[in-house]
Amino acid sequence: MRESIKDKGRIEHILSTIRILLENKTRYTFEEMANDPIIFYGFVKHVKIIGEAVYMLTKEFRAAHPEVDWDIIEGMRHVLVHGYNKIKPKQLWDTIEYDIPELLPVMEQIYKEINSQSSL
């Protein structure tokens, strides 16, 4: 059973993981990431963490924040978990380069809203 009280913690995990991905993406080129399985699967793991946190959010929380395409993020998690042998480096890199940076300000705004509601 998913608990709404844990939604805040899951958003914190998402934000932390986004920041880790963005900080580390600048350390590697696409070629380095694609050709080094340790680096590649490190990035995979962090994208999975975001997807897992989204997967564990309550339905009510997700419904209250339709500005995020939760199903797409959850779908990526399913691909990374169940299709681990089919992950294409370019798709992973594009996700980190384009989708993750767009997600950051949205998650920051949601987190601010959560904090302002919990202080009432």
Indicate the pLDDT class of residue 65, thresholds 50, 70 and 90: very high
| In a domain? residue 69 | yes
Residue tagged active-site, from 19, 62, 77, 78: 77
Residue 42: inside a domain? yes
Q: Which residue reads 């998402």 in tokens?
A: 14
How many CB atoms lie under 10 A from the CB of residue 113? 13
Give catalytic status of residue 82 as yes or no: yes
* Portion of the chain with pLDDT greater than 90, in percent: 85
Q: What is the mean pLDDT of the chain?
A: 92
Q: Is 77 a catalytic residue?
A: yes
Q: How many domains does the chain have?
A: 1
72-94 per-position pLDDT tens digit: 999 999 989 898 788 999 999 99
Domain with 13, as residue range(s), is 4-115
Task: Give domain status of residue 120, yes or no.
Answer: no
Quick one: pLDDT at residue 3?
A: 66
Q: Closest Cα partner for 57 from 74, 39, 41? A: 74
Task: Give the model confidence (pLDDT) of 21-42 as tens digits.
Answer: 999 999 999 999 999 999 999 9
The pTM assigned to this predicted structure is: 0.90
57/50 Cα distance (integer angstroms) = 11
Count of CB atoms situated within 10 Å of the CB of 49: 19
